[in-house]
Structure 1
Amino acid sequence: MSQNVPDFTALLRSAQRSAVHLEMRDAYGVGDEAEEFEQFKLTGAVDLDPTASWWPEWLGLVKETVGRGVVLRRARIVSEPVTDYIRWEHAVTPLNLDAGEQVRWLPRRKASDIALPGNDLWLIDDRLVLFHFFTGDGNWADPGFEFNEDPATVEMVAQAFETVWDRATPHEKYTV
Structure 2
Amino acid sequence: MRDGYMKSDPAFIDWSAGRTIEPAQRWGDWLRLVSESTARGVEVRRARIVSEPISAYIRFEYEVTEGLNIAAGEQVRWLSRRDATSIALPGNDFWLFDSGLVLVNHFDGDGDSLEHEVVTDPEVAKLCASAFEAVWERAVPHEAYRPV
Instruction: Give TM-score scaled by structure 2 length.
Output: 0.94
Which residue number in structure 2 is paired with residue 173 of structure 1? Answer: 144
Per-residue Cα deviation, 1:80-109 (whole angstroms, up to 9, x for no partner): 000000000000001210110000000000
Number of aligned residues: 146
**Alignment correspondent of 1:113:** 86
- What is the aligned partner in structure 1 of residue 53 from structure 2? 81
Correspondent of 1:40 among 8, 11, 15: 15
SS of the equivalent of 1:122 reads strand
SS of the residue 1:25 aligns to: coil
1:131 aligns with 2:108: no
Alignment of 1:153 onto 2:130:
no
State how 1:8-27 maps to structure 2 within 5 Å. 24-27=1-4
Question: Given the superposition, is the C-alpha separation of residues 46 and 170 from structure 1 closer, same or farther in structure 2, using an over 3 Å criterion?
Answer: farther
Query: How large is the RMSD of aligned CA atoms in angstroms?
Result: 1.3
Match of 2:30 in 1: 58
1:121 partner SS: strand
For the residue of structure 2 that corresponds to 1:145, the secondary structure is strand
Residue 29 in structure 1 maps to residue 23 in structure 2: no
TM-score (normalizing by structure 1)? 0.79
2 CA distance for matches of 1:75 and 1:50? 19
Do 1:116 and 1:160's aligned partners in 2 also have CA atoms closer than 8 Å? yes
CA distance in 2, matches of 1:130, 1:46: 31
Report SS of the residue matched to 1:26: coil
How much has 1:41 moved relative to structure 2?
A: 1.8
Question: Structure 2: how far apart are the matches of 1:156 and 1:82?
Answer: 27
Any stretches of 5+ residues in structure 1 without a counterpart?
A: 1-23
User: After superposition, what is the alpha-carbon deviation per residue over 1:100-146, rounded to whole angstroms, capped at 9, x for unaligned?
Assistant: 000000000000010000000000000101111000001112xx121
Counterpart secondary structure, 1:161: helix
CA distance in 2 between partners of 1:62 and 1:30 (Å) = 24
Query: Gaps spanning 5+ residues in structure 2: where?
Result: none
CA distance in 2, matches of 1:30, 1:128: 28
Q: Is the 8 A contact 1:130 1:148 kept in 2?
A: yes
Residue 39 of structure 1 and its aligned partner are, at CA, apart by: 2.1
What does residue 99 of structure 1 align with? 72
